Amino acid sequence: MEAKLNKKIEKKTGILSTLINVLVPILLALIIAIIPILIQNENPFKVYFYMIFGNFTSFDNIATLFHTMAPLILTGMAIGISFKAGLFNMGVESGVIVSGFVTAVLGYYLKSWPKGVLIPFLFLVGAICGIIVLIIPAILKAYLNVNEMVVTLLLNYAYIDILKYLTTYVDGIRDKQAGYIKTFTIGQNASLTGFLGSSFTLFFFIAILIFFILLFLIKRTKLGYRIDALGKNTCYSEAVGLNVKKSIIGIMLLSGAIAGIAGAGWLMSDKKSYALDFSGSPGLGWDGMVISLLGAHSPIGILISSLFYGILKAGVNYVSFNTIVPGQIILIIQGLLILFLSFKIFTNKSSIEYIRLKNFINKCELYFEKKKNKRQKIEVDKE
Amino acid sequence: MKVIDVILINTFIFALPIVLSTLGGLIAYKLNIVNIGLEGFMLLGGLFSGLGVYYTKSYVVGLLICLIFSGLIGLIYAFFAIKLKSNFIITGFAINVIAGALSAYILITMDRKDLDLNVVNAENLKLVFSGTENIPILNGLINSHSPMFFITIIIFILLVVIFNSTRFGTYIKVIGENEKAARAQGIKVDLIKYLALILSALIVGLGGFAIAVEQIKLFTPDIIAGTGFIAIAAFYCGNGKPSSSLLYALLFGLAKALAFTLAFNMPQVEGILKIVPYVAIVIVLTVTAIIKRRKSLMRGVYQDE
Amino acid sequence: MFAIKTVALTKKFGEFIANDNISINVEKGKILAIVGENGAGKTTLMNMLYGLLKPTSGEIYVNDEKVDFRSPADAIKHGIGMVHQHFKLVPSLTVYENIFLGNEDVFELDIKYRKDKVFKLKTGFIKKKEEKEIIKNLIEENNFNIDPSKKVKDLTVGAKQKVEILKMLQRNADILIFDEPTAVLIPQEIEEFFENVKKIKEKGKTIIIITHKLKEVMEISDNVYVIKQGKIIDYLKTSNTSEAEIANLMVGRSVLLKVDKKYRDLSNEKVIYRVQNLSTKDKDGKTVVDNVSFEIKSGEILGVAGVEGNGQTPLAHLLTGMMLPTSGDIYYKDQRITSFWPKELRKIGLGIIPEDRYLYGLCEEMSITNNLIASSLDDENICKRGIFQTKEIDRHCDNLIDKYDIRLSEKKGNISSLSGGNAQKIIIARELEKRPDVLICSQPTRGIDIGAIEFIHNSLLNYSKNGKAILLISSEISEIMSLSDRIIVMYKGKIIGEVDAKNTTLEELGLLMGGVGFGSQT
């Protein structure tokens, strides 16, 4: 009896502490973000109302929400698997933009290909781009232990400049008719069109499909074991026969491939041509980082947080449409979210906070138990 | 010879913020905290000095405002890293994102695309030693330096003195090397960490000031463009030693200056030359890693040394 | 009056009683030795005397004054100093900086106010010259022969110990505690250390030495406390006792656990595993495994004995593929397997039980199931084309948990929810179940409860009965003696001697472990 109660308390404490770990940062971020809103002389409740409920006012808006979610799920997973493996891989953003650019160029030149061939081909090319982008940092990390974060961050800048140069100066890439710097628009056959006139496309289903494939890989295969073991104990990984070098390279490249697919899909389903603001601001890669942190790098967590973050990101449009607050407020909320997610209130099961929470729940359980017993007693007495 | 002068002058201009950021970041690095937020610290330094300069039209007031806010940001960062025991890499990254967000948001609130900081005319503050303008190389070395150049030299000397002959500097090194031993000796570890991180933030903030007010004379949210990360690469390569880190920072400044000078003469490939410093730094990082790779015979160990 | 007196001192870690009702008296101006086997509770006792641990109950008196230490700083104030087994020095600082750390001599500015009053303002600048001078004098006074401005990382182990001693002398400690002071020293340094300790004693200081080396006890101490399983067994005057008597008290019959070792005739068995002239260096370039050669036959248990830190850990790393040799070779069934990765070693039929359970053997934050299958990731039944066969895995794990009597509090829990003994059983189960022909086994029972020790000993014995070879590296003499067929002893990275387990004695092994070589030398 007591063991059963203990188990119940343990379970409740576990769930509650996880919830608090996620919800407190969200609340703190939303509360602090009120300050810049007030500076704008706008009602924060109105802003948050549009940000959240604006998504659900029409079918089109709901479609847009899912459309926004699609690349977020992918970049979230791309960051998630590398962070879980203890690799601070910041190259997801470069994977997204390089793949987006290449997709744009090929989508324009190969527009005569049939749709059924071209779109899968472009996804494949996107994935390969992502892999190529991450191959250098992966090898440097695995063989020379060069800090992967510094390298990927520096190379991000390099890729941005390269793409900027190619888009701006190279004939045959830049669409000179357009009023701003962008590539030619991709052909009809390379384009993922929305269902029923909404912005909701096949890309969402592809993202979900990839998500479930990754979920399976992580939960049920040796690859998932590799990721987990590498992130938790490199010595153990090596000692039980999982080659650490191979793991590092494999995980980084997988992460790159997912990022590449996200970039290709976003271009084909949304942007249709590569412009300098392709990945948006903040870039899809950085969104992925917040999502992964929010979801504690677990697949289901990442799926839920991409819904949450998608609501914020799509909701910002309704905010800037209906209030005087600019869309950049999302940037501030994002930064604050990362900041408050950088520490945990309940670090592990032996932390003082955790034990306090457990004792509190224990007390509550006992209190309810007593009350229940009393009520039963009264009922028995009545009878 | 003119070209060499131009490159030298440009090297100092480009290297100055890198050096400041390196020196600041190095203090945290000595504490065993790799502050990935240097980029954000610099941007916020640039933002607040920009706002200060823009509204007061005074170099000195801008500098003071920059210092005050940088210290405050350092305090926040230290609070997260020390008191809340946060994952300081993610905290640092958050500062980068917040810095970018805040800059963009404030500019939009002001209904501007940028802040013109030429109002203080930093060019006029540059020192030229009369009579040396025509001596090649020497001209490039000692002339046309902004006040921040001299502040940087002072900071560098100060840091060397702090680390070599004061209690504060010794404690920073000890904490970074073996925090437990430091605690066992009764050293007030947390206090030292707070002070060091705030000092670090002040110096990095000055780097932002150097870029915004002196180098570009304009504030936009993307003026830092990786300088913070370059600084991290510099103290990584320099093993956290002030003098060798300084040399790497200068080297990276030189790479930037070369790219800039080349681009000036070959505008058609200007865009592609911008990647030179980043690629060069990755190469330098790789080479130092090969040299540094100690002949450890152990397998499976992947922690940063 | 005693320098230190404890009354019924007890320390519990959870359920485990590390020190049980310990009452000792430390005479002033004498050298006291506290002896006992590894894990007997010596270090726990000293940590309480030094304020690092708080006693669960009991009292401590220093010079007849009752004390309640909250930190080492309190102990230092009462004149107690301690040299830990692992020195607490900062490698990148110089000798004198280390000695003054936390206690620096800084420049003071005299600020005069109201005519005659002076306020001393402490600047942060360290008086390096003066500090160096003071330490130089101190070193000369003690004839220590070290350079005060050398960096600690450039010093030998013996010199580092001197720095620790100087640190205590500089702080005027009257009672000096040494935790296993000679464990890491070479013989010449040990001699020198004894000289120094005697000199310090002549100055009227009280010295406590924790050790398990009996020769040293006889050579230096005035009195001896023998401690076993957290209890004081006896108090002896060194001049009235012998090594043999202390050894008997210390080890006792009860420690030799009951295992039923049947010696078999192995002369017809084939050599299955062979190590030839193996050497390696640590990261400071010191040779830690020096020209080691041995061979194991099928069905044999070869014990590797030795005082800890004599090269057993790097040897185990070499044999398990976690470290690379600088020279020499390893052969398995005449196949050269030098520098094989752990993955390859497992594939050809080696089992590995690592010394550091939670670093190389288990992943604490992973589930019990995941740890149990770690060595079977290439097994078709467990992981077919990279996909886990969950049903088969569950069956396999249930089977192992049952067979190896692993007691779980929650079935789906992490390794961190297990006790040390059960965690070790996970490794044993995982490795033995692969039926390797050769098992490399390091410190299999370190820090675990008696029940688990017995279980593991019997598992190993049974396993070797099937004609499997086991290399057993352990610093527990009793374990080595009761399990092995043959024993080799390591000393300073070398194999100093080899004995037949059936006919050897504790004394013979003890002497070999102390570096006195005889027996059939290799």
Gap from B69 CA to chain A (nearest CA, Å): 17
**Residue B126 — pLDDT band, cuts 50, 70, 90?**
confident
Segment B64-85, tens digit of pLDDT: 999 999 999 999 999 999 998 8
Q: Which residues contact A81 (CB under 8 A, 6 or more apart)?
A: A214, A218, A227, A251, A254, A255, A258, A297
The amino acid present at B245, given as its one-letter code, is S
Q: Are residues C377 and C495 in the same domain?
A: no
Residue B78, token pair as written in the block: 């230290």
Segment A150-166, tens digit of pLDDT: 899 899 999 998 999 99
Q: Which pLDDT belongs to residue B45?
A: 96
Q: Are residues A168 and A312 in the same domain?
A: yes
Q: Are residues C431 and C317 in the same domain?
A: no
Q: Are residues A152 and A19 in the same domain?
A: no
Torsions phi, psi of C506, nearest 5?
-60, -40
Quick check: is C110 in a domain?
no
> Which stretches does DSSP call E strand in C104-174?
106-113, 117-126
Query: How large is the average pLDDT for residues C499-513?
Result: 82
Residues of B in contact with C281 (CB under 8 A): 297
Residues of C with CB under 8 A from a CB of B: 71-73, 88-93, 97, 101-104, 106, 124-126, 128, 280-281, 283, 317, 321-326, 341, 360
Considering A53-57, B86-90, B192-196, C509-513, the range whose residues carry the highest mean pLDDT is B192-196
Q: Are residues C206 and C228 in the same domain?
A: yes
Q: Interface partners of A (3+ CB pairs, < 8 Å)? A: B, C
Q: Are residues C192 and C340 in the same domain?
A: no
Is residue C376's pLDDT more than 90? Answer: no
d(CA A72, CA A15): 25
Q: Which pLDDT belongs to residue B175?
A: 92
Quick check: is C140 in a domain?
no
CATH number of domain containing C318: 3.40.50.300
Segment B130-166, tens digit of pLDDT: 666 677 666 666 767 788 889 999 999 999 999 988 9
Going from the C-alpha of C238 to that of each of C219, C243, C469, the distances in angstroms are: 9, 9, 43
Question: 10 Å Cβ neighbour count for C300?
Answer: 22
CB–CB of C363 and A243 under 8 A?
Answer: no
Is residue A1's pLDDT more than 80? Answer: no
Is residue C275's pLDDT more than 50? Answer: yes
A321-325, C101-105, C359-363, C495-499: range with lowest mean pLDDT: C101-105
Is residue C39's pLDDT more than 80? Answer: no
Is residue A138's pLDDT more than 80? Answer: yes
Is residue B178's pLDDT more than 80? Answer: yes
**Could you say which DSSP state residue A186 is in?**
P
A1 touches chain C (CB under 8 A): no
**Residue C253 — pLDDT band, cuts 50, 70, 90?**
very low
CB–CB of B167 and C72 under 8 A?
Answer: no
CB–CB of A243 and C341 under 8 A?
Answer: yes
d(CA A99, CA B30): 39
Segment C109-161, tens digit of pLDDT: 887 887 777 777 778 888 888 889 999 998 888 888 889 889 988 887 788 88
Angle at the Cα of C468 from the Cα atoms of C467 and C472, rounded to 5 degrees? 135
| Chain A residue closest in CA terms to C379 | A222
A119-128, A206-215, A323-332, A340-349: range with lowest mean pLDDT: A340-349
Q: Are residues C338 and C269 in the same domain?
A: yes
Q: What is the dihedral of CA A27, A33, A34, A40, to 10 degrees?
A: -160
Q: Are residues C197 and C329 in the same domain?
A: no
Quick check: is A310 in a domain?
yes
| Chain A residue closest in CA terms to C372 | A240
Query: How large is the average pLDDT for residues B163-174?
Result: 91
Query: How large is the average pLDDT for residues C470-478?
Result: 87
Q: Are residues C314 and C250 in the same domain?
A: no
Domain count, chain A: 2
Quick check: is A45 in a domain?
no
Q: Which residues contact C137 (CB under 8 A, 6 or more apart)?
A: none
Average pLDDT taken over every residue of chain B: 87
Question: 10 Å Cβ neighbour count for C252?
Answer: 15
Give which of C333, C340, C325, C331 is closest to C291, Cα–Cα: C325
Instruction: Out of A144, A154, A326, name the one closest to residue B293 (CB).
Output: A144
Is residue C277's pLDDT more than 90? Answer: yes
CB–CB of B229 and A153 under 8 A?
Answer: yes
Q: Which pLDDT belongs to residue A311?
A: 92
Residues of B in contact with C107 (CB under 8 A): none
Instruction: Let me know: does A100 contact A180? Beta carbons within 8 Å.
Output: no
**Residue C452 — pLDDT band, cuts 50, 70, 90?**
confident
Is residue A16's pLDDT more than 60? Answer: yes
Quick check: is A167 in a domain?
yes
| Chain A residue closest in CA terms to B277 | A158
- Domain around A273: 59-345
Segment A266-285, tens digit of pLDDT: 999 999 999 998 988 778 99
Q: Are residues C379 and C498 in the same domain?
A: no
Gap from B78 CA to chain A (nearest CA, Å): 13
Q: Which pLDDT belongs to residue A296?
A: 87
Q: Are residues A157 and A133 in the same domain?
A: yes
Instruction: Out of C89, C124, C321, name the one closest to residue B166 (CB).
Output: C124
CB–CB of A293 and B229 under 8 A?
Answer: no
Q: Where are the domains of chain B?
A: 2-292
Q: Are residues A27 and A92 in the same domain?
A: no
Percent of the residues in chain C that have a pLDDT greater than 70, as a whole number: 95
Residues of B in contact with C283 (CB under 8 A): 294-298
CB–CB of B186 and C104 under 8 A?
Answer: no
Gap from A354 CA to chain C (nearest CA, Å): 16
Residues of C in contact with B296 (CB under 8 A): 283
Q: Which pLDDT belongs to residue B219?
A: 93
Gap from B263 CA to chain A (nearest CA, Å): 13
Residues of C in contact with A297 (CB under 8 A): none
Percent of the residues in chain A that have a pLDDT greater than 90, as a whole number: 54
Gap from C417 CA to chain A (nearest CA, Å): 10
Quick check: is A53 in a domain?
no
Number of Cβ pairs < 8 A linking chain B and chain C: 64
Instruction: Let me know: does A256 contact A91? Beta carbons within 8 Å.
Output: yes
Instruction: Let me know: does C181 contact C212? Beta carbons within 8 Å.
Output: no
Is residue A83's pLDDT more than 90? Answer: yes
d(CA A367, CA C511): 65
Gap from B2 CA to chain C (nearest CA, Å): 45
Segment C191-247, tens digit of pLDDT: 888 888 898 898 889 999 988 777 788 888 999 998 888 888 889 898 888 877 887
Overall size of chain B counted in residues: 305
Q: Which pLDDT belongs to residue C517?
A: 58
Instruction: Let me know: does C270 contact C65? Beta carbons within 8 Å.
Output: no
Instruction: Out of A220, A222, A233, name the one closest to residue C377 (CB).
Output: A222
Residue C355, token pair as written in the block: 């010394």
CB–CB of B279 and A146 under 8 A?
Answer: no
**Residue B266 — pLDDT band, cuts 50, 70, 90?**
confident
CATH number of domain containing A208: 1.10.3470.10
Question: 10 Å Cβ neighbour count for C183?
Answer: 17
**Residue B305 — pLDDT band, cuts 50, 70, 90?**
very low
Quick check: is A52 in a domain?
no
Chain A (236-275) residues lying within 8 Å, Cβ to Cβ, of chain C: 236, 238-243
Query: How large is the average pLDDT for residues B194-223?
Result: 93
CB–CB of B297 and C281 under 8 A?
Answer: yes
Quick check: is C148 in a domain?
no
Residues of C in contact with A233 (CB under 8 A): 359, 363-365
Q: Which pLDDT belongs to residue B140?
A: 66
Note the pTM of the prediction, 2 decimals: 0.83
Instruction: Let me know: does B81 contact B88? Beta carbons within 8 Å.
Output: yes
Is residue B303's pLDDT more than 60? Answer: no
- Last residue of one domain, picked from the residues C204, C225, C255: C255
Is residue C254's pLDDT more than 50? Answer: no
Gap from B174 CA to chain C (nearest CA, Å): 7
Gap from A66 CA to chain B (nearest CA, Å): 25
Quick check: is C96 in a domain?
no
Domain count, chain C: 3
- Mark B164-173 as b/e (b = at least 16 C-beta within 10 Å): eebbebbbbb
- Of residues B38 and A39, more confidently modeled: B38
Gap from A97 CA to chain C (nearest CA, Å): 32
- Last residue of one domain, picked from the residues C239, C255, C271: C255
Quick check: is A19 in a domain?
yes
Under CATH, to which class is B2-292 assigned?
mainly alpha
Contacts 24+ apart (CB under 8 A), C128-135: C128/B165, C128/C96, C130/C105, C131/C96, C131/C97, C131/C100, C131/C104, C131/C105, C132/C96, C134/C96, C134/C105, C134/C170, C135/C95, C135/C96, C135/C99, C135/C100, C135/C166, C135/C170
Instruction: Out of C72, C125, C322, name the one closest to residue B184 (CB).
Output: C72
Instruction: Out of C364, C366, C377, name the one closest to residue A241 (CB).
Output: C377
Q: Which pLDDT belongs to residue B118?
A: 81
d(CA C350, CA C470): 10
Q: Are residues A222 and A292 in the same domain?
A: yes
Residues of B in contact with C97 (CB under 8 A): 170
Q: Are residues A141 and A21 in the same domain?
A: no
Segment A197-224, tens digit of pLDDT: 778 899 999 999 999 999 999 999 999 9
C341 touches chain A (CB under 8 A): yes
Is residue C42's pLDDT more than 90? Answer: no
Q: Which pLDDT belongs to residue C256?
A: 46
Instruction: Out of B186, B298, B299, name the one closest to residue C102 (CB).
Output: B186
Q: Which residues contact A38 (CB under 8 A, 6 or more apart)?
A: A44
Residue A186, token pair as written in the block: 């991709």
Percent of the residues in chain A that have a pLDDT greater than 70, as a whole number: 98
Is residue C489's pLDDT more than 60? Answer: yes
Instruction: Out of A165, A293, A332, name the one closest to residue B271 (CB).
Output: A165
A225 touches chain C (CB under 8 A): yes
Is residue B1's pLDDT more than 70? Answer: no
Segment C348-374, tens digit of pLDDT: 989 999 988 888 999 988 999 999 998
- Of residues A102 and A153, more confidently modeled: A102
d(CA C177, CA C33): 10
**Dihedral-angle region of residue C20 (phi above 0 means left; psi in -120 to 50 means alpha; beta otherwise):** beta
Q: Which pLDDT belongs to residue C511?
A: 77
Q: Are residues A163 and A304 in the same domain?
A: yes
Give which of C156, C7, C173 is closest to C99, Cα–Cα: C173
Q: Which residues contact A192 (CB under 8 A, 6 or more apart)?
A: A119, A201, A202, A203, A265, A268, A269
Percent of the residues in chain C that have a pLDDT greater than 90, as a whole number: 31
- Domain around C505: 256-349+437-522
Is residue C261's pLDDT more than 90? Answer: no
Quick check: is A296 in a domain?
yes
Residue A370, token pair as written in the block: 């007593």
Is residue A289's pLDDT more than 50? Answer: yes
Query: How large is the average pLDDT for residues A325-331?
Result: 85
Overall size of chain C counted in residues: 522
Query: How large is the average pLDDT for residues A308-316?
Result: 90
CB–CB of B285 and A341 under 8 A?
Answer: no
Residue C26, token pair as written in the block: 């430390």
Gap from A16 CA to chain C (nearest CA, Å): 18
What DSSP element (H or E) covers C299? Answer: none
Average pLDDT taken over every residue of chain A: 90
